[in-house]
Amino acid sequence: MKKIVLQCSLQLLCSFCLLFLPGCKEKAIMENDELTPTDSIAVLLDVAVINSKEVIVETTFCNKLDVAVGIEKRRILYNNMMDWGAFRVKRGRKKIRYIGLEANIPEVRKEDLYNLMPGESYTACIKLHNEYDLSRSGTYTVTYRAAWYLPDEKGNEKLFYVRSNTVEFKLKKGIPPVPPINERVF
């Protein structure tokens, strides 16, 4: 019963993505050799601020293609891990710097891919305050932005631009930053 409810919830989420996310329906070649936006993958963000001490970003990726897509696990924040600046975070107009881990991935192997089946979703929760400097109070916005290899109309792999909705959240007081990853003691 729980599995059926979960599948129905994911299907509703994918339907929501198809209908309401502004970036999902657009598909146009951008000028100056920039990437092509895609409507093949919907990305939906939701933000929770917990007791002004944590900011959790729930990120859901939905495959709207008729075929399975092999996506780098790091691009979908697999196992709630982040090793690159996946989000654009701003306070007002000021871009907030990424302070998390920056992994150097020389070559993508088969085991580095996650198969997102047609119509299925994958959700990751990221502690944004551990990855970005949210030490000042104010109104913030967060958006997921990345380049993914996806099949084009002919089935060939092509680099596409994947973008989520933008979510606004407020911090009454800043959250003390964790030290940058290269300064952390483990």
pLDDT digit string, tens, across residues 79-131: 988 888 999 999 999 999 998 888 776 688 888 889 999 999 999 999 999 99
- What is the pTM (predicted TM-score) of this model? 0.75
Mean pLDDT computed over 49-71: 92
pLDDT at 60 over 90: yes
At residue 27, the pLDDT reads 29
| AA identity, residue 49 | V
The CATH architecture that domain 2-179 belongs to is Sandwich (2.60)
At residue 6, the pLDDT reads 34
- The percent of residues in the chain predicted with pLDDT above 90, rounded, is 44
pLDDT at 76 over 80: yes
At residue 114, the pLDDT reads 92
At residue 108, the pLDDT reads 80
| pLDDT tens per residue across span 13-49 | 443 443 333 333 322 323 334 566 777 899 999 999 9
At residue 11, the pLDDT reads 40
At residue 143, the pLDDT reads 96
Q: Where are the domains of the chain?
A: 2-179
Query: pLDDT band at 186, cuts 50/70/90?
Result: low
At residue 31, the pLDDT reads 34
Q: Are 158 and 36 in contact (CB under 8 A)?
A: yes
CA distance 24 to 117: 18
At residue 185, the pLDDT reads 55
